[in-house]
Amino acid sequence: MRQVGLTRTTSEQRAPLYEDVETLLDFGFLTHNVTINGVCFSFRSLGPGDRFLLRHRSHSKAHDEWVCIAIASSIWMVGGYNLLNEDNVVPLMAKSIRKLPPNVRVILFNEVMSMLDRVTAALDAVEPYAYEKVSRYKWKSFGNQPFSSHNELNTKIGTNHVQRMWTFYNQIEDQRVKDDVYWDGIKFATSVHASKGVKKIDDRDKQNRKEEQDRRQRVQDTFFYTVKGVIRKEELDKTKGDLKSGGKSADDLSDEMRRWVSGEADWHDDIVNNYKRMVASNYEKHKQALAEQAAMLAVARDDINSDTPQPIVGYSAQELSEILKERGQGVPGVRQVGGGPEVVREHLYTKFLGREADSGALQVNDGQMVIVSPNDGIPLEQRLEERNVVFRSGGEEPQEPFPSEW
């Protein structure tokens, strides 16, 4: 699978995309304020514990009843009063919500669901955030203590999925760092007796660490470009997340050249080829329309040149100016050079899209590497010296500066 080159992103660029993740880590839920009849209601995202209680509080299977309890469960502050410590406030709030007009209940329920969507999106951001330095600083500042010890709001609602995933990533990273310290100590002690063997192992470990660092960078870059809309979800699914950031290595370029010479096409090539076919089809339709228009003008010209007397029409200066403007003749006193826009368009189409690019004398040897195919014995240096630089105007047919077998 060919990898798409992306510019490496920085932690400063990615920082604004982690706002919901950090809020869920620090406070346990997301919030949104709604004013009803002059009273401010603060809604919060529902966590795993809230959804567990919701299933037991809603005994009726009626949709309206479940919606009212879901809205009531999401309200955590009314008019500045904190309701998190009020254990039985949800049933009372649900009774008040039932009295609201149906359209108002729909709006409030949409607010609850929109925060649930934000929590789901934050789950996708946990892994790239866990690889950020600020994430490790935050983890160390927690001191492996539960979230409730840092914020009393978490005491009532418990931990959420973002907090649990983030804890898992950091615990794995802590164990990896500890294992690396032990392993480096073992290599240091062994290097006295087998320095060459330990050096090979150490070089391999360095390569593995670099590959892991590159993988984490790809995860962060892919997350950034997906959120920004540069990468579409369906494209990410086709590549199975295999999107490479930064510049391509020599091996990447060599492999890409081998695939092009051998004619192997991936999904990215298909997208480009489909786009080129669409442009070519539209241009051919445009040329056909111009040909039909030219044929009609030829018929009209024949009619004018016939023996049938034709009326002579006079144009005013304003009418003549508008006709010239429609024909693209430009401002008075300026002459167009090169045959006009149609000639330029024909030249660009013929040069870039009118013919398929081929690999010329290049071929793949045993499916592994690209070589220059055998020719008539003329050295490459001599062929380059004998090439001719062709100068032509836009309306002329392009000519090959190299022999046809190239």
- In the chain, domain spans: 1-247, 249-297+350-406
- Greater confidence (57 vs 1) lies with 57
What pLDDT score does 3 carry?
Answer: 43
At position 91, the amino acid (one-letter code) is P
Residue 40 φ/ψ, nearest 5 degrees: -85, 120
pTM (two decimals): 0.57
Pairing of strands 362-365, 31-36: unpaired
406 band by pLDDT with thresholds 50, 70 and 90: very low
What pLDDT score does 125 carry?
Answer: 94
- Greater confidence (323 vs 174) lies with 174
Alpha helices of 191-266 — where are they, by DSSP H?
Answer: 195-227, 233-238, 250-262
118 band by pLDDT with thresholds 50, 70 and 90: very high
- For residues 326 and 330, give the distance between their C-alpha atoms in angstroms, rounded to a whole number: 9
Q: How much of the chain exceeds pLDDT 70, in percent?
A: 60
What pLDDT score does 82 carry?
Answer: 87
Taking CA atoms, 58 is separated from 66, 71, 294, in Å, by 6, 12, 75
- Greater confidence (233 vs 96) lies with 96
Contacts of 7 (CB under 8 A, 6+ apart): 221, 245, 246
What pLDDT score does 131 carry?
Answer: 95
Mean confidence (pLDDT) of the chain? 76
- For residues 76 and 41, give the distance between their C-alpha atoms in angstroms, rounded to a whole number: 8
404 band by pLDDT with thresholds 50, 70 and 90: very low
